[in-house]
Amino acid sequence: MEYAIFYNPHSCGGNGLKIAKEIEKLMGENTYTYYNILSKTPLNTVISSLPKSTNIIITGGDGTLNSFINQVNDVDSQSFYFYASGSGNDFARDIGYKKHHKPILINKYIKSLPTANINGKNYKFINCVGSGMDGYCCAEVERLRKISKRRGNYLLAAIKALIYAYKPCDAYVVADGKEYIFKNTWLVPTMNGRFFGGGFMAAPDQDRLNSNKTLSLVAMHSRNFFKIVTAFLLIMKGKHTKLKSMIKVIEGHEFSVKLSKSAFLQIDGETIPDVTEYTVSSAKETANIT
């Protein structure tokens, strides 16, 4: 069989290609061709040039998968597989797929994805989009990766943010036409899957394949520092939602979020600075618009 393997050379501490070649040991004797997803040639052009019988494997983490899905329009024409080799791997964790296992078919997971409009540009996302402390933590992880060969750690960034580095703001949310105001907001991600930040179960009841195409917005808000610390300890196992006075989970199809001050926004772990507002639409809403 023929396999086209798409990799990010910068992933996994600059070992993207080396780790991608692990796939050959798992898949056995086949024909393998490697493609750099950061190449100047658009991925749509590359994929359209491949025979329809070619199986496509994306290797890397959530950021690599996000980059891929935002460059490829037609995910029905061929078989798409994923080989998880990133640092966070929240998508793999959500679907019960273990890191470095044999590539798994993901066509059903990457079609009809939700979209976020940020600064006038639309992005598809696989796990979540959010601003606030999670955006700060992802930006801090990226910063540490640039200055050190060691991978940044989301948990350590979260501890730093809680102690002194992040200051909460107010969030104004409209969910399917209903308005909410959350004072002293620490987190306000909109979730397509259950996890973010490398294993934090922000939305334990979210099902990315649910028939209604609903998403879950999770607002964590409080001025009490000790309650926030408790919530972050509980979020690791998805137990934080029992804290009803400071955790609000809203299911819906269309969300808009405005912050009282600019902040980093993260989309599948990749960051965008100085964002004050954005909108999110589920696949159902996107279909209705188009």
In a shared domain, residues 31 and 163 = no
Sequence-distant (≥ 6) Cβ neighbours of residue 69 within 8 angstroms: 75, 110, 113, 124, 126
Q: Which CATH number fits the domain that encloses residue 84? A: 3.40.50.10330
Number of H helices, E strands in the chain: 11, 17
Q: Is pLDDT at 36 greater than 70 in this prediction?
A: yes
In 3D, which of 284, 288, 181, 163 has the Cα closest to residue 229? 163
In a shared domain, residues 104 and 127 = no
94 lies in which domain range?
2-110
Q: Comparing 177 with 160, which gets the higher pLDDT?
A: 177
Q: What is the mean pLDDT of residues 100-119?
A: 94
Task: Give the tens place of pLDDT for each residue, 136-151.
Answer: 888 888 888 777 655 6
Q: Is pLDDT at 178 greater than 60 in this prediction?
A: yes
Report the C-alpha gap between 176 and 222 in whole angstroms: 24
Check residue 32 and give its pLDDT: 93
In a shared domain, residues 103 and 127 = no
In 3D, which of 186, 5, 151 has the Cα closest to residue 83? 5
Residue 166 burial by CB count (10 A; 0-12/13-18/19+): exposed, middle or buried? buried
Sequence-distant (≥ 6) Cβ neighbours of residue 38 within 8 angstroms: 8, 9, 10
Structure tokens at 220: 């964590």
Task: Give the tens place of pLDDT for each residue, 184-227.
Answer: 999 999 999 999 988 999 999 999 999 999 999 999 999 999 99
Report the C-alpha gap between 280 and 188 in whole angstroms: 12
Q: Comparing 8 with 285, which gets the higher pLDDT?
A: 8
Q: Which CATH number fits the domain that encloses residue 141? A: 2.60.200.40
Report the C-alpha gap between 106 and 57 in whole angstroms: 10
Pairing, β 178-187 against β 215-221:
antiparallel
Neighbours of 151 (CB within 10 A): 14
Q: Is pLDDT at 273 greater than 60 in this prediction?
A: yes
In a shared domain, residues 131 and 78 = no
pTM for this entry: 0.91
Check residue 11 and give its pLDDT: 77
In a shared domain, residues 63 and 143 = no
Check residue 152 and give its pLDDT: 63
Q: Which run of H or of E encompasses 93?
A: helix 90-94
Choosing from 42, 75, 110, the residue where a domain stops is 110
